[in-house]
Amino acid sequence: MKSDRLLSILLLLQTRGRVPARELAERLEVSVRTVYRDVESLSAAGVPVYAERGRHGGIELLAGFRTDVTGLTADESRALFVLAAQGAHAALGLDAAFGSALRKVMAALPAPHRPAAETASRRILVDATRWRGGPQPAVDLEVLRDAVFADRRLRLRYRHSGERQVRTYTVDPYGLVAKAGVWYLVADRRAEPRLFRADRVRSARLLDEPVRRRPGVELADAWEGLRR
């Protein structure tokens, strides 16, 4: 966690220039004392960083020091930050990781493209929920997400629409799909493609067995067939 925090400080300083220690502390959810200790660690590692105390002080890198990754066009930069508006990462428990990734990308962008990327994130909003859809039931995607990323089979207790009975299935997941504000698990059951609405999953358990997908079939292929 400390190494991630040090990298976040470095990238924030590259992006913002001088930043007050209190602002860094609030962004990283640590104390101001911890920020100053982290600055000392960065300095000891050879990073040219210094702190100025006082009303107009702050923490800053020496001019010209940065990690520069070039090659992104202005439109590519915009595209990355439009992605930030979609919000699916929050439902998957990846909100903090996504925010950290965006800071790294922003710091790595060529300086002329940063204003375009920042503007895109403020001017484009993607809301995937339908009008008059009513409140959506809470959905716990943690186990489904873990199975998808770990390539493991799942044991589901599932209630179909219009039924009171809860059924049990062993499935082989391809992945998760968010469609119009609703999450679905795309999986095979006995080598046949099935679609499970996440808010109807009553419980889910990872099995020790590796997933058994049909050869050559990817999530997009399975979803397209089910969607049709």
Question: Quick one: pLDDT at residue 119?
Answer: 75
Q: Are 130 and 181 in contact (CB under 8 A)?
A: yes
Range list for CATH 2.30.30 in the chain: 142-227
Closest-CA residue to 202 (of 156, 165, 169): 156
Query: Which of the following CATH numbers is that of domain 142-227: 1.10.10, 2.60.40, 1.20.1300, 2.30.30?
Result: 2.30.30
Range list for CATH 1.10.10.10 in the chain: 2-61
Instruction: Find the DSSP H helices in 66-212.
Output: 74-83, 88-91, 95-108, 114-123, 142-150
Q: Which residue has the higher pLDDT, 133 or 191?
A: 191
Q: What is the pTM for the complete model shown?
A: 0.57
Q: How does pLDDT run across 44-80, given as a tens digit for each residue?
A: 888 888 888 777 778 988 877 765 444 456 666 666 6
Question: Quick one: pLDDT at residue 116?
Answer: 76
Amino acid residing at 64: G
Task: Return the CATH class of domain 2-61.
Answer: mainly alpha
Question: Quick one: pLDDT at residue 69?
Answer: 43
